């Protein structure tokens, strides 16, 4: 049974607010489909229940979560710490705690700080609670999405303009990928779930709801928009044909359906950045995961929250793992609207004309430029060193952007 009675009727709204070519449109439909997750104040009464459940989960999987945290190597950890440059008495916000690798590294660099550790995943929140027992004066664990962080911080007494550093480590964590029951990995069979919030919002649609409810056009749009999948129509057609025979409810079931739409030789024909073979369904899984979790809208909201709560001179560090995330971060730091066509060379011309400051034509160009809020720490995006990629292959596509609030 679908988690939204009106789920099938909403695809037209999605189609109307999809990306235009070369543009990022943070449309209204993904927000409508996730209204339950956004009603923070309505869910506040249930918050303690969620936290208690997370703590019970922590107790049940204490050994597993500790082992995962110890085994997981955070991506570009040295660069993250260097960019944040923690100093005694400062206040930091880790908006994607995960298994806590970056938080531990920050505390190792400077232990006399306050760090708010946030994650939307109840399992990650449980690990943050565990770590706060070892650092009771430093760590404040919080459970919530990016869109809920502002309310969480205000409730904790944190005022806008008071943070010294904010970290966002985007995408799916190794802890989530390695748990088949979460439904993120196509290599391990499990229920086709993909909800980063776990069971916190029972009526939030799962990936299974999406693939079984939306029509072929809507599925193709999701694959093209969020997976940048060039064979979106072919894959959507295969999904619709398969589900007419039986519901699609398992991860490897979906992976097999996608692979079946191509010759056998194409299943692992694609290569990653290390020139290793990747499964033909990888982009499909990415697309449905981003859609189910409303990740791009959440990211943009998280960036705005970071800007609001950072003090002048505060530092923002963002790690992204695919072009859609990186494009949003890059646009945000450069002050480029999310709804306009991104043309970096044109923006450079605007900046150059503003420096010249002469002539009526230049004045008109200057008026197009949004006021800059950030000073980039590095002119170019940072990527992992070869040794980092060998130590943590999953971080091979990471891109780090860091900036100081003006």
What's the mean pLDDT when you consider all of the chain? 81
Which stretches of 17-121 are DSSP H helices?
A: 29-33, 35-38, 40-60, 62-71, 77-84, 101-109
Given a contact cutoff of 8 angstroms between Cβ atoms, the answer to whether 79 and 401 are in contact is: no
The answer for residues whose C-beta is within 8 angstroms of residue 357's C-beta and 6 or more apart is: 366
pLDDT confidence tier of residue 37, bands split at 50, 70 and 90: very low
Q: Whole-angstrom Cα distance, residue 215 to residue 363?
A: 49
What per-residue confidence (pLDDT) applies to 32?
42
Given a contact cutoff of 8 angstroms between Cβ atoms, the answer to whether 212 and 292 are in contact is: no
What per-residue confidence (pLDDT) applies to 372?
87
Residue 404 DSSP symbol? E
Compute the average pLDDT of residues 385-395.
79
User: Which of 253-267, 270-284, 317-331, 353-367 is predicted with the least confidence, judged by mean pLDDT?
Assistant: 353-367
In whole angstroms, what separates CA 169 from the centre of its chain?
Answer: 7
The answer for residues whose C-beta is within 8 angstroms of residue 187's C-beta and 6 or more apart is: 279
Rg, the chain, Cα only: 22
Q: What percent of the chain has pLDDT over 90?
A: 61
Place of tokens 């449905």: 288
The answer for residues whose C-beta is within 8 angstroms of residue 82's C-beta and 6 or more apart is: none
pLDDT confidence tier of residue 285, bands split at 50, 70 and 90: very high
Q: Whole-angstrom Cα distance, residue 286 to residue 344?
A: 27
Given a contact cutoff of 8 angstroms between Cβ atoms, the answer to whether 190 and 182 are in contact is: yes
Give the model confidence (pLDDT) of 362-382 as tens digits.
444 444 456 789 999 999 999
pLDDT confidence tier of residue 64, bands split at 50, 70 and 90: very low
Given a contact cutoff of 8 angstroms between Cβ atoms, the answer to whether 258 and 251 are in contact is: no
Encode 191-221: b = buried (16+ Cβ within 10 Å), e = exposed.
ebbbbbbbebbeebbbbbbbbbbbebebbbb
């Amino acid at each position: 049974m679908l988690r939204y009675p009106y789920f099938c009727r909403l695809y037209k709204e999605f189609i109307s607010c999809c990306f235009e070519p070369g543009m990022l449109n943070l449309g209204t439909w993904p927000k409508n489909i996730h209204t339950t997750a956004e009603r923070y104040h309505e869910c506040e009464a249930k918050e303690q229940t969620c936290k208690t459940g997370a703590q019970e989960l922590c107790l049940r999987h204490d050994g597993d979560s500790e082992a995962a945290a110890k085994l997981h190597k955070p991506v570009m950890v040295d660069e993250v710490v260097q960019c944040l440059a923690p100093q005694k008495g400062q206040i930091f916000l880790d908006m994607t705690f995960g298994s806590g690798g970056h938080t531990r590294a920050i505390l190792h660099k400077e232990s006399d700080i306050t760090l708010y550790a946030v994650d939307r995943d109840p399992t990650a929140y449980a690990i943050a609670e565990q770590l706060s027992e070892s650092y009771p004066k430093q760590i404040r664990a919080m459970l919530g999405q990016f869109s809920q962080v502002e309310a969480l911080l205000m409730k904790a007494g944190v005022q806008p303009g008071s943070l010294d550093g904010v970290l966002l480590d985007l995408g799916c964590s190794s802890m989530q990928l390695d748990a088949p029951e979460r439904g993120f990995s196509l290599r391990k069979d499990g229920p086709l779930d993909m909800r980063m919030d776990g069971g916190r919002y029972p009526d939030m649609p799962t990936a299974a709801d999406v693939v079984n409810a939306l029509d072929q056009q809507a599925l193709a749009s999701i694959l093209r928009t969020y997976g940048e999948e060039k064979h979106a129509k072919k894959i959507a057609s295969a999904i619709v044909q398969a589900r007419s025979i039986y519901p699609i409810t398992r991860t490897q079931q979906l992976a097999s359906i996608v692979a079946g739409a191509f010759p056998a030789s194409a299943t692992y024909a694609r290569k990653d950045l290390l020139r290793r073979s990747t499964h033909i369904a990888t982009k499909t899984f990415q697309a449905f995961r981003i859609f189910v979790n409303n990740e791009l809208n959440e990211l943009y909201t998280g960036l705005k929250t970071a800007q609001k709560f950072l003090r002048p001179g505060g530092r923002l560090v963002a790690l992204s793992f695919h072009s859609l995330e990186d494009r949003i971060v890059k646009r945000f730091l450069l002050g480029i609207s999310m709804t306009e066509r991104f043309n970096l060379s044109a923006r450079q011309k605007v900046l150059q004309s503003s420096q010249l400051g002469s002539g009526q034509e230049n004045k008109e160009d200057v008026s197009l430029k949004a006021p800059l809020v950030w000073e980039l720490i590095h002119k170019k995006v940072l990527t992992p060193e070869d040794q980092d990629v060998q130590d943590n292959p999953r971080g091979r596509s990471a891109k780090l952007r860091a900036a100081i609030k003006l």
